[in-house]
Structure 1
Amino acid sequence: MTRSKFTLRSTLTAIGLASSMAIATTSHADYPEQDVRLVIPYGPGGATDIIFRLISQEAEKTLGESIVPVNMAGAGATLGSRDVKDADPDGYTVLGSHDTIALSKLAGTVDYSYDAFEPVALLTQTINIPTAHSDHTVQSADEIADYVSENPGEVRFSMIPGSTDHFFWAQFFQEAGIDMDDVRLVGYPDTGEQVSALMAEEVDFAMFNLPSGGSFYEDGSFRPLGIAHPERLESMPDVETLREQGIEMDHSTSRGIFAPKGTPQEVIDTIADAYGEALENEEVQSRIENEFGSVVQFLAGEDYHEFLEDNEAALSAAAENIEFQN
């Protein structure tokens, strides 16, 4: 090859590379140019579904394109997380999930955790509530241990395997002095089916919160047995906290947005900014706090990374005393 031909080929290669970089840069700068698909790894009607839909409707006003929720329940919430994990890292597919990402790995359901994604932003924390159907003899959470003792092997607790409520009950049993061998954990694919099961009295107890159980508490179908938070909820002032009942336990669900690994930082920042602005809306804040028993807790960037590291470390430490039953 002559020197002139080599130089020409090198020049064309450099131009092509520069053009590709320019196109990529322009692509990121123009993001988004189409709808963003938000995968929610649970069925419709549960707390995760309701909260992400509420905030996303406001966030899309800032983003400039629609955020389209897609419910993808199944496999203990891992069907949806796998879909996003394996999606193109272009910002057009994101995951709306919570602690279940780490819990699924701890339970042995999957081999990945938070580090398989690019964390975008923490949005809310929802206070969890142990719950019974209205005809149950148990009136408060501190009566559950005696009820189990009187009916060993017969008391049924609903949960989604490897998810937040599975971990909630394992921790509750430990704090309340209940032997896990004396209870029956009944698995369901999503919150909607858990609601139906408790309504039909197929199970004795379930873990809900205001987004998933509020309307049933209000109409008397379900009975809240305690609040897993240091303080009572303003919307349920007569329901004692677990700590007031002698059960030293707090428990909330931390919901955030995750993108596929490799998603450009500028795209992540754009999505985080849209959700951050959405959470500044007073009406959205009011609904989150008053209707959904949750608190706005926005973290992005390094702050969210550190939060997830601490969260996973705490869950891992607690899991050493937990026998996950799938």
Structure 2
Amino acid sequence: MRSLAILSAFLLAAIGASTQASAEDAPHAHAFPSSDIALVVPFGRGGATDTLFRVIAEQAQRHLNTSIITMNMAGNGATLGSQFVKQADPDGYTLLGSHQTIDLAYIAGLSDYSHDAFAPIALLTRTVNIPATTPGHTLTQASDIAAYVEQHPGELLVGIIPSSTDHFFWLHFFEQAGIAPANIQFVRYPDTGAQVVALLGGELDLAMLNLPSAGALFERGALVPLGVANDTRLSALPEVPTLTEQGIALINTTDRGLFAPRDTPPERLERLAQAFEQALQQPALVETLQHAHGSYVDFMPREAYGRYLDDRYDQLQRLADTMGFER
């Protein structure tokens, strides 16, 4: 009996110690984040997506009390990086910063997954897209392109990242401008940076750019914006007319948001969304995004963003069917 009493006392003491240790460790066990976060950008360094996510992440990490490490993982129509995140542990420490390319790659048959393969965190920004050329080119505004193609069928060289937003932009632009894509030579590049280099080197006639990727080049006169795909002119390019002003009914933005692996815990998604929302409430950052990068803050939390992605996918699919968008 005495041995049984001693054993019982020992077990009770052990249980009590374990309970106390668990209570003490609980806050640490559930703290998030407790280490650096990797933000994968599925495009090369220096492009619009890379530029925007870096400047926003720099502010957001201050609200997470940890570092956000931006990793460029370009390749295979932006699916190399998204595939990496899709297969990562769903713990909130590996994120994807991307846009419509996730669905466009799926619609084009380049990948076997759409945005449904991820947990949406938040929509962050919309960036106005800009058709651009080089100084001294025959084209001086977007409305000149149709006549140029009619006079030089099959000669216009247009840069694209296959199945990405710029590929879709051009197909939509040509549809609205009454230009047959068969009369265009599409030249494929792995990322926006490569297109900029090619355009500067005279290897292309046109590329779809924007202020994050080419604003400094526009300012220096190294590249020429032919129009802005927005309902109003951009404050950074007040002399450049919208496409609508030029008779081309096209408003086109690249909508960038954050994604996580599918089964990431909701409370971690909320924590991440909150940090990025707080970052995008900083007036200085909003000013930089709008005036320096031609991008508008349009924060949308994860559930609303999920619904938006579903609706946007349906729109993209309908347009893709109309335009024959394929790999």
- Contact 1:28/1:267, CA 8 A, preserved across alignment: no
SS of the aligned residue for 2:322 comes to coil
Q: Which has the larger radius of gyration?
A: 2
Match of 1:183 in 2: 184
SS of the aligned residue for 2:310 comes to helix
By how many angstroms is 1:309 displaced? 1.1
- Contact 2:42/2:72, CA 8 A, preserved across alignment: yes
Match of 2:221 in 1: 220
By how many angstroms is 1:303 displaced? 1.1
- Contact 2:128/2:230, CA 8 A, preserved across alignment: yes
**Relative to 1, partners in 2 of residues 1:60 and 1:318: Cα closer, same or farther, differing over 3 Å?**
same
**Relative to 1, partners in 2 of residues 1:270 and 1:134: Cα closer, same or farther, differing over 3 Å?**
same
SS of the aligned residue for 1:272 comes to helix
Q: Distance in 2 between matches of 1:148 and 1:108?
A: 29
The within-5 A match list for 1:149-298 is 149-298=150-299
- Contact 2:60/2:276, CA 8 A, preserved across alignment: yes
The within-5 A match list for 1:23-102 is 29-102=30-103
Q: Distance in 2 between matches of 1:25 and 1:105?
A: 42
By how many angstroms is 1:107 displaced? 0.8
Q: Which moved more, 1:26-35 or 1:140-149?
A: 26-35
Q: Distance in 2 between matches of 1:22 and 1:278?
A: 33
- 1:150 is matched by which residue type in structure 2? Q
Q: Distance in 2 between matches of 1:309 and 1:266?
A: 22
Match of 2:5 in 1: none
SS of the aligned residue for 1:94 comes to strand
- Superposed CA offset, 1:257-285 (max 9, x none): 00001000000001000000000111110
Q: Distance in 2 between matches of 1:322 and 1:49?
A: 29
- 1:194 is matched by which residue type in structure 2? Q
- Superposed CA offset, 1:94-149 (max 9, x none): 00000101100011100111100000010000000000111211000000011111
Q: Unpaired segments of 5 or more residues in structure 2?
A: 1-14
What is the TM-score with the length of structure 1 in the denominator? 0.91
- Contact 2:109/2:326, CA 8 A, preserved across alignment: no
- 1:84 is matched by which residue type in structure 2? V
Q: Distance in 1 between matches of 2:308 and 2:23?
A: 35
- 2:91 is matched by which residue type in structure 1? D
The within-5 A match list for 1:284-323 is 284-323=285-324
**Relative to 1, partners in 2 of residues 1:98 and 1:269: Cα closer, same or farther, differing over 3 Å?**
same
- Contact 2:74/2:190, CA 8 A, preserved across alignment: yes
SS of the aligned residue for 1:218 comes to helix
Match of 1:130 in 2: 131
Q: Distance in 1 between matches of 2:306 and 2:29?
A: 22
- Deviating runs (4+, > 4 A) in structure 1? 21-28
SS of the aligned residue for 1:103 comes to helix
The within-5 A match list for 1:110-149 is 110-149=111-150
**Relative to 1, partners in 2 of residues 1:272 and 1:125: Cα closer, same or farther, differing over 3 Å?**
same
- Superposed CA offset, 1:167-222 (max 9, x none): 00000010000001100111100111000000011110000000001111111111
Q: Distance in 2 between matches of 1:27 and 1:149?
A: 67
Q: Distance in 2 between matches of 1:275 and 1:84?
A: 19
- Contact 1:98/1:256, CA 8 A, preserved across alignment: yes
Match of 1:6 in 2: none
Q: Distance in 2 between matches of 1:313 and 1:23?
A: 49
**Relative to 1, partners in 2 of residues 1:25 and 1:135: Cα closer, same or farther, differing over 3 Å?**
farther
What is the TM-score with the length of structure 2 in the denominator? 0.91
Q: Distance in 1 between matches of 2:26 and 2:105?
A: 36
- 1:246 is matched by which residue type in structure 2? G
- Contact 1:122/1:298, CA 8 A, preserved across alignment: yes
- Count of aligned pairs between the two proteins: 308
By how many angstroms is 1:311 displaced? 1.0
By how many angstroms is 1:305 displaced? 1.0
Q: Distance in 2 between matches of 1:271 and 1:87?
A: 17
By how many angstroms is 1:88 displaced? 0.3
- Superposed CA offset, 1:229-283 (max 9, x none): 1111111111000000000010000000000010000000010000000001111
- 1:177 is matched by which residue type in structure 2? G
**Relative to 1, partners in 2 of residues 1:325 and 1:182: Cα closer, same or farther, differing over 3 Å?**
farther
- 2:313 is matched by which residue type in structure 1? E
By how many angstroms is 1:28 displaced? 7.0
By how many angstroms is 1:302 displaced? 1.6
- Contact 1:28/1:266, CA 8 A, preserved across alignment: no
What's the % identity of the aligned pairs?
47
By how many angstroms is 1:324 displaced? 3.4
Q: Distance in 2 between matches of 1:83 and 1:24?
A: 32
- Contact 2:107/2:326, CA 8 A, preserved across alignment: no
Q: Unpaired segments of 5 or more residues in structure 1?
A: 1-14
